[in-house]
């Protein structure tokens, strides 16, 4: 386990280096790419110097790495804010969306997966599996558009996009950036309902996609543990059915499930980018797409770097959780 802990920075280093190389082999430098034609050559040169782009490439590389260590993800070219500021501004939106989706996905995955494993090949199991495959197969942006069509355009129940309605004076109410949390902190019912109604469609859309994978993982692992020797032994000792199911089969199935959930975090981030774009959700994902379209390499590099840090942190967290659940894991 020590190996894995030590590997995390190595992983990060490899990802960051790859990213740096990829984006710097692009013709032109970030400033020129984003602003050529809109500023005079002299202005561009000035911006380049200000961003340190006239330094030798290895100096830029070292600056980049040391910056990341200090939590500095560089500066955007087409946005006056530093990337770290952008991340702080927009990450709460992405986080709120992904947490909502994750909770939904885990709930669905555990319930349908465990039930399917317990009643293998029953109609409900087959239905659960088909549901899992379909929600995985349906592209998240398409599900999102259909949901908008039905619930927003036709039924007029929910808003199509954004995080908050125009009537809520969000500038005065925001504390943490997590609107549901802020609404609770302010004990503002209207704010809470408004934030929730905005969250529901994108949250469910993203949650469904991820749930497909979870249903499969939970089901497969429960199938394994349900026929494990210790489960049979527990039955042979007269331990009650529900206890055998939850305490033995489910808990043991959880160990690999937690690990895979960690890997699915990458999938969740990818899904978040598409969901945010579909629902004009003002998060990091839609910001990334904006910067890509503006050819702002510097901002792209910064945001992707942040995602990489996030992925590595999550994989460390997963290892930690596994250590709590599984006594065989030692650090």
Partner 1 sequence: MSRKAGPSRLEHALRPWRRANRMARWLVIAGTVITLVFAVLAVFADQIAPYGQDQYRYEVAGAPVDDDGDPVLESIPRRAEPGAGFPFGTTSARFDVFSRIVHGARVAFGVVVLSTVVAMGIGVPLGLISGYRGGRVDRLLVLVMDAVYVFPPLLLAIIAAFVLKEYLDPGLPSAAVAVGAVYIPQYFRVIRNHTLSVKQEPFVEAARSLGAPPRTILGRYVFFNVVQSVPVIFTLNAADAVLTLAGLGFLGYGVPYPQAEWGLDVSRAISDVVSGFWWTAFFPGLAITLLVTGLTLVGEGLNDIVNPLLRVRGYTGKVPARKEPTAEATRESDDEDITDLAKTGVV
Partner 2 sequence: MTDHVVANRAPAGGPEPVLRVRELVAEYATPRGALAAVDGVSFDLHPGESLGLVGESGCGKSTLGRALLQLMPPGGAVRGRVELGGRDLVGASLPVLREIRGKDVALVFQEPMTRLDPLMRVSDHFVEAIRAHRPGTSRREARAMGRAALAQMGIPPTRADNYPHEFSGGMRQRIMIALGIVLRPQLIIADEPTTALDVIVEAQILDILDALRRDSSVGLILITHNLGIVAETCDRVAVMYAGKIVEIGDVRQVFSAPKHPYTKGLLASTISLETTRLHSIDGTPPDLVTPPPGCRYAPRCPFVMAHCTDAVPLYAEPEPGQLAACYLYPGANADGRATPREDAEVAR
- Whole-angstrom CA distances from 186 to 166, 183, 191, 197, 316 are 18, 5, 9, 18, 34
Rank residues 228 and 269 by Cβ distance to partner 2 and give the closer one: 228
Cα separation, 252 vs 237, whole angstroms: 18
Angle at the Cα of 285 from the Cα atoms of 282 and 290, rounded to 5 degrees? 80
Could you tell me how many residues of this chain bind partner 1 (CB under 8 A)?
A: 63
Burial 88-113 (b: 16+ CB within 10 A, else e): eebbbbbbbbbebbbebbbebbbebb
Rank residues 248 and 295 by Cβ distance to partner 2 and give the closer one: 248
236 makes contact, choosing from partner 2, partner 1, none, with CB < 5 to 8 Å by partner type, with partner 2
Cα separation, 276 vs 283, whole angstroms: 7
Indicate whether 251 belongs to the interface with partner 1 (CB under 8 A): no
Quote the tokens at residue 96: 């709120």
Contact string 84-123 vs partner 1 (x = CB under 8 A) = -------------------------------------x--
330 makes contact, choosing from partner 1, partner 2, none, with CB < 5 to 8 Å by partner type, with none
146 makes contact, choosing from partner 2, partner 1, none, with CB < 5 to 8 Å by partner type, with partner 1
149 makes contact, choosing from partner 2, partner 1, none, with CB < 5 to 8 Å by partner type, with partner 1
The least distance separating partner 1 from the CB of residue 196, rounded to whole angstroms, comes to 23
Residues listed for the chain: 331
Q: What residues contact 176, with CB distance under 8 A and at least 6 apart? A: 92, 182, 185
The least distance separating partner 2 from the CB of residue 242, rounded to whole angstroms, comes to 11
The least distance separating partner 1 from the CB of residue 53, rounded to whole angstroms, comes to 17
Rank residues 13 and 230 by Cβ distance to partner 2 and give the closer one: 230
Block residue for tokens 């469910």:
204
Residues 267, 275 contacting (CB under 8 angstroms): no
210 closest CA partner among 112, 305, 118, 289 = 112
Quote the tokens at residue 45: 């040169």
Quote the tokens at residue 270: 């990818």
Residues that bind partner 2 (CB under 8 A): 120, 227-230, 232-241, 243, 247-248, 251-252, 255, 325-328
DSSP tag of 249: I
Window 12-51: residues binding partner 1 (CB under 8 A)? 14-15, 18-19, 22-23, 25-27
Output the DSSP codes for 24-76.
Answer: HSSSS-HHHHHHBTTB-HHHHHHHHHHTTTTS-HHHHHHHHHHHHHTT---B-
252 makes contact, choosing from partner 2, partner 1, none, with CB < 5 to 8 Å by partner type, with partner 2
Indicate whether 3 belongs to the interface with partner 1 (CB under 8 A): no
- CA-based R_g, the chain, Å: 23
211 makes contact, choosing from partner 2, partner 1, none, with CB < 5 to 8 Å by partner type, with none
219 closest CA partner among 128, 134, 136 = 128
Indicate whether 242 belongs to the interface with partner 1 (CB under 8 A): no
Cα separation, 52 vs 26, whole angstroms: 17
Q: Which stretch binds partner 1 (CB under 8 A): 39-47, 55-63, 176-184, 224-232?
A: 224-232
Indicate whether 65 belongs to the interface with partner 1 (CB under 8 A): no
The least distance separating partner 2 from the CB of residue 238, rounded to whole angstroms, comes to 4
Q: Where do contacts with partner 1 occur on this chain (CB under 8 A)?
A: 7, 10-11, 14-15, 18-19, 22-23, 25-27, 121, 126, 133-134, 136-139, 141-143, 145-146, 148-149, 153, 160, 213, 216-217, 220-221, 223-224, 227-229, 256, 259-260, 263-264, 266-267, 269-271, 273-274, 277-278, 289, 292-293, 300, 304, 307-308, 311-312, 315
């Amino acid at each position: 386990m020590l190996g894995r802990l030590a590997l995390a920075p190595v992983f990060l280093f490899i990802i960051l280096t790859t990213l740096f190389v990829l984006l710097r082999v692009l013709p032109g430098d970030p400033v020129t790419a984003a602003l050529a034609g809109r500023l005079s050559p002299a202005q561009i040169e000035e911006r380049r110097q200000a961003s340190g782009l006239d330094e030798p490439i290895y100096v830029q590389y070292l600056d980049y790495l040391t910056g990341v260590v200090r939590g500095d993800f560089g500066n955007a070219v087409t946005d006056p804010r530093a990337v770290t500021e952008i991340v702080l501004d927009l990450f709460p939106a992405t986080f709120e969306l992904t947490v909502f989706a994750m909770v939904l996905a885990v709930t669905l995955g555990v319930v349908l997966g465990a039930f399917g494993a317990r009643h293998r090949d029953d109609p409900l199991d087959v239905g659960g599996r088909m549901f899992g495959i379909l929600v995985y197969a349906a592209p998240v942006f398409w599900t999102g558009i259909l949901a908008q069509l039905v619930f927003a355009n036709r039924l007029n129940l929910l808003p199509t996009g954004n995080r908050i309605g125009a009537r809520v004076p969000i500038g005065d109410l925001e504390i943490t950036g997590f609107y549901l949390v802020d609404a609770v902190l302010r004990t503002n019912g209207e704010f809470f309902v408004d934030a929730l109604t905005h969250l529901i469609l994108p949250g469910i859309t993203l949650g469904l996609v991820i749930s497909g994978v979870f249903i499969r993982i939970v089901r497969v692992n429960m199938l394994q543990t349900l026929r494990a020797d210790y489960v049979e032994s527990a039955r042979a000792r007269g331990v009650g059915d529900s206890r055998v199911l939850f305490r033995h089969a489910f808990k043991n199935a959880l160990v690999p499930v937690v690990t895979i959930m960690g890997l699915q975090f990458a999938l969740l981030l990818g899904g978040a980018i598409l969901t945010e774009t579909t629902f004009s959700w003002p998060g990091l994902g839609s910001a990334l797409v904006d910067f890509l379209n503006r050819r702002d390499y510097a901002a792209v590099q910064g945001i992707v770097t942040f995602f990489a840090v996030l992925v590595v942190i999550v994989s460390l967290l997963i290892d930690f959780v596994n250590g709590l659940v599984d006594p065989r894991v030692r650090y």
